[in-house]
Chains A and B, each alone.
Chain A
């Protein structure tokens, strides 16, 4: 069981109508790892993330999480297996307060561990503590991202999925958020699967990474190896370094 990866995506194909968005993707994430998925716009990165969450569901292939097949499960049941997601575009609840947003994250355990967990989140992101009674929609982009990650963490996830956490944020804030992710991984052994366009930051953070092009994984390796790889440098780093 310990050697078995936490998440195993095998030969997954996902379609939007007749358009094939994922074309036989094989990805796995081991326990305690940070794995990132980089690629250009429209490569299918977010689709893979959403397929793992069951919306849309994979038409072919299988997704095994923690030894169980979740390919055909509805989204909310997948979430109840402790796969927490900070979705693309953050998707916080804008008219609810920061505090209520965090409560929503702790709904799986019916707020049993809420008190201790919320303190943890506030230590990780002190800005959220200052803003706790403010409505989600009034936060800045970076604070919203923190809230989105914080809300996902409130579910005590086994696997944290992060979809473009750096999108539209200033480099300094991105650095802060990535440091927080690193810290969670180091101190609590949190397993993270990260989708990023900001390849440089993602690869530096990750233990392993995948490169995706047109719905297929074309390259894989350790974060360091990919950072040094001339092809990756040319395609994703030199032009796109932030």
Chain B
């Protein structure tokens, strides 16, 4: 590819500067009255005004700089790529990737590990609660749930609209078993997973012959049945009141996070009393559970069962003609997906300290499924990004107090969450119909590896 000549380049820069100045002028005109001048009431309740040149200047600067970057760099870059693609005349073949691309996962993991100490450093012990709990833990729970559902929907291609049922089974398993038998989190975590897997198989049996929309409806009904049982079986589940006082998880039994316990974590380390340490512990716990899920998924994909799942998604009849037992293949997909949901449920129960049927409504299933679809079915990275966008977006909306100044004090931004998500999903699906990471990574290579964009393949049928 030829570099644009110096002359061409300076012409481009001139153009960019011109457009930047113009954009700045427009921004100045637009904002001078709204931003540049502020009215307020002084002590005598008289309405007076003052200027905010600094803020106005930053608005103008952002507009001008943004325009400059778009015209000077982003647009030529995009044009160049388009031209190069057209010239090559071949589908996008990615051979060399940048440093960030190649080490993306390692960088992400390091950032995640550093996230709690960083937020403590930046926001203080108490201030970090919001970032670790509301953002970190909340997002990671959804990442885990979506990765679990990904096995069922993304890999095995079984559309499950009742996934939240297994989440509920896991949560109630932990809540009730710890209440009645006093077992610890570390005993009950695997138990919750096993119980959820068991329910996954129970759901799996009747729906073995179903696919697509029919399967979706039955799983939807299954999710509702579980929720209604939780509401109405009051003797055991305490109905809509829910189960409260669920014990906290301990640090492998060594340190406790209960305030009264003699081996309390903060006391043992001579730290000031704060729930932040427990939340940080929970953050690392859910992070570990997520990593476990990712590891299991990646390993399984390379094993015969994982390959059978993916083949099942593509063509069931062909699978059977190759000697694959589709019954056990489907049941294992349901069971393993459900087990991960169960783990997440147990974690959810110990984090909240309280479970009620309200947490397991259909909307939750829909959100998890939306994350899987938005992320690109089957892609762990894509799903994690989608979870950050969807769940982090919700939490961010809660934080956007300034919107109240724009739309009036009655405006509660999180109420517009679904509207915004709807819009966001439409936009993503229009521009990236296969989700954020739409191309499926092959599990086996012979010698060379080439990735042909997924948009060149058709969906399976069967």
Contacts and interface: CB of A to CB of B under 8 A. Distances in A.
A127 to B, nearest CB: 15
A133 B314 CA distance: 17
20 contacts: A77-B323, A91-B321, A92-B315, A93-B311, A93-B460, A94-B314, A96-B310, A100-B307, A104-B307, A105-B322, A107-B304, A107-B324, A108-B323, A133-B445, A134-B450, A134-B452, A136-B457, A137-B457, A137-B458, A138-B457
A55 B308 CA distance: 19
Interface in A109-165: 110, 132-138, 151, 155
A100 B321 contact: no
B317 interface: yes
A103 B307 contact: yes
A155 B323 contact: yes
Contact of A93 (B314, B449, B454): B314
A133 B318 contact: no
Interface stretch (A15-23, A79-87, A199-207): A79-87
A85 B321 contact: yes
A53 interface: yes
Contact of A79 (B314, B320, B452, B460): B320
A135 B457 contact: yes
A13 to B, nearest CB: 22
Interface stretch (B132-140, B278-286, B436-444): B436-444
A133 B448 contact: yes
A103 B445 CA distance: 11
Contacts of B325: 76
Interface string B287-308: 0000000000000000010011
A95 B323 contact: no
A112 to B, nearest CB: 12
Given A53-B321, A99-B444, A136-B457, 5 more contacts: A95-B459, A100-B442, A100-B443, A135-B456, A137-B457
Contact of A91 (B310, B315, B326, B446): B315
Nearest to A87: B321
A55 B440 CA distance: 31
A77 B320 CA distance: 9
A-B CB proximity, top 3 nearest: A137-B457, A79-B323, A93-B314
A134 B321 CA distance: 23
B325 to A, nearest CB: 5
B98 interface: no
A94 B452 CA distance: 13
B323 A99 contact: no
Nearest to B318: A91
Interface string B180-217: 00000000000000000000000000000000000000
B454 A95 contact: yes
A93 B311 CA distance: 6
A72 interface: no
A27 to B, nearest CB: 19
B315 A93 contact: yes
A50 to B, nearest CB: 9
A236 to B, nearest CB: 27
A123 to B, nearest CB: 15
A96 B456 contact: no
Given A107-B307, A132-B446, A95 B456 contact: no
Given A93-B460, A96-B442, A76 B310 contact: no
Interface residues of A, number: 35
A94 B442 contact: no
Nearest to A138: B456
A148 to B, nearest CB: 9
Interface string B423-445: 00000000000000000101111
Tell which of B322, B323, B326, B459 has the most Cβ of chain A within 10 Å: B322
B462 interface: yes
B442 A97 contact: yes
A94 B459 contact: yes
Contacts of B456: 135, 137-138
Given A93-B310, A95-B314, A151 B446 contact: no
A104 to B, nearest CB: 5
B446 A133 contact: yes
Nearest to B378: A95
A14 B390 CA distance: 52
A159 to B, nearest CB: 13
Contacts of B462: 91
A75 interface: yes
Contacts of A91: 315, 317-318, 321, 462
Nearest to A114: B444
Contact of A75 (B307, B321, B442, B457): B321
B41 to A, nearest CB: 64
Contacts of A95: 310, 314, 440, 454, 457, 459-460
A155 B322 contact: yes
B321 A79 contact: yes
B85 to A, nearest CB: 17
Interface in A165-221: none
Given A133-B442, A133-B446, A133-B448, A94 B457 contact: yes
A76 B316 CA distance: 11
Given A107-B304, A110-B304, A135-B457, A99 B322 contact: no
Interface string A39-61: 00000000000000101000000
Nearest to A80: B323
A134 B326 CA distance: 26
Question: Which residue, of A95, A110, A136, A137, has the highest number of chain B Cβ atoms within 10 A?
Answer: A95
Nearest to B448: A133
Contacts of A132: 446
Nearest to B460: A94
A151 B304 contact: no
Contacts of A53: 320-321
A91 B322 CA distance: 11
B314 A96 contact: yes
A55 to B, nearest CB: 7
A107 B318 CA distance: 13
Contact of A92 (B307, B318, B446): B318
A20 B350 CA distance: 60
A82 B362 CA distance: 45
